[in-house]
Structure 1
Amino acid sequence: MCHIRAARKHDVDELNRIACESEAYWGYDEKFMERFKEVYRITEDFICSNPTFILVEGSHVIGFYALIETHEGTELEYFYIDPRFIGKGYGKKMWERLIDYCREAGVKSFSLVTSPQAKGFYERMGAVVVGEVESLLREGRRIPRLRYEIT
Structure 2
Amino acid sequence: MLIRRAEVKENKILTELAVMSEAYWGYDKRFLDAYRQIYSLTEDYIRNHPTFVMEEDGKLAGFYSIIESDDEVTLEYFYLDPAYIGKGFGRELWDHLVEFCRNRGIIEFVLVSAPEARLFYEKMGAVVVGDVNSLVGKDRRIHKMKMII
TM-score computed with the length of structure 1 as normaliser: 0.96
1:58 shift after superposition: 2.0
Q: Please state whether the residue corresponding to 1:118 is helix, strand or coil.
A: helix
1:24-35 aligned within 5 A: 24-35=23-34
Q: Please state whether the residue corresponding to 2:120 is helix, strand or coil.
A: helix
1:106 shift after superposition: 0.7
Q: Please state whether the residue corresponding to 1:72 is helix, strand or coil.
A: coil
Specify the alignment match of 2:48 in structure 1.
49
Specify the alignment match of 2:8 in structure 1.
9
Please give the per-residue CA displacement for 1:24-69, whole angstroms capped at 9, x wherever unaligned.
Answer: 1100111111110110000100000000000112211110000002
1:2-151 aligned within 5 A: 2-70=1-69, 72-150=71-149
Give the CA RMSD over aligned residues: 0.9
1:10 shift after superposition: 1.5
Structure 2: any 5+ residue segments left out of the alignment? none
Instruction: Letter of the 1:66 partner, please give it.
Output: S
Q: Distance in 2 between matches of 1:17 and 1:32?
A: 14
Q: Distance in 2 between matches of 1:46 and 1:92?
A: 25
Q: Distance in 1 between matches of 2:93 and 2:125?
A: 14
Alignment identity in percent?
45
Q: Please state whether the residue corresponding to 2:97 is helix, strand or coil.
A: helix
Q: Distance in 2 between matches of 1:59 and 1:37?
A: 24
Q: Distance in 2 between matches of 1:53 and 1:130?
A: 26
Please give the per-residue CA displacement for 1:53-89, whole angstroms capped at 9, x wherever unaligned.
Answer: 0011221111000000245300000000001111111
Instruction: Letter of the 1:47 partner, please give it.
Output: I
1:119 shift after superposition: 0.4
Q: Distance in 1 between matches of 2:125 and 2:115?
A: 16
Structure 1: any 5+ residue segments left out of the alignment? none
Which contiguous aligned blocks of 4+ residues in structure 1 show a shift greater than 4 angstroms?
Answer: none
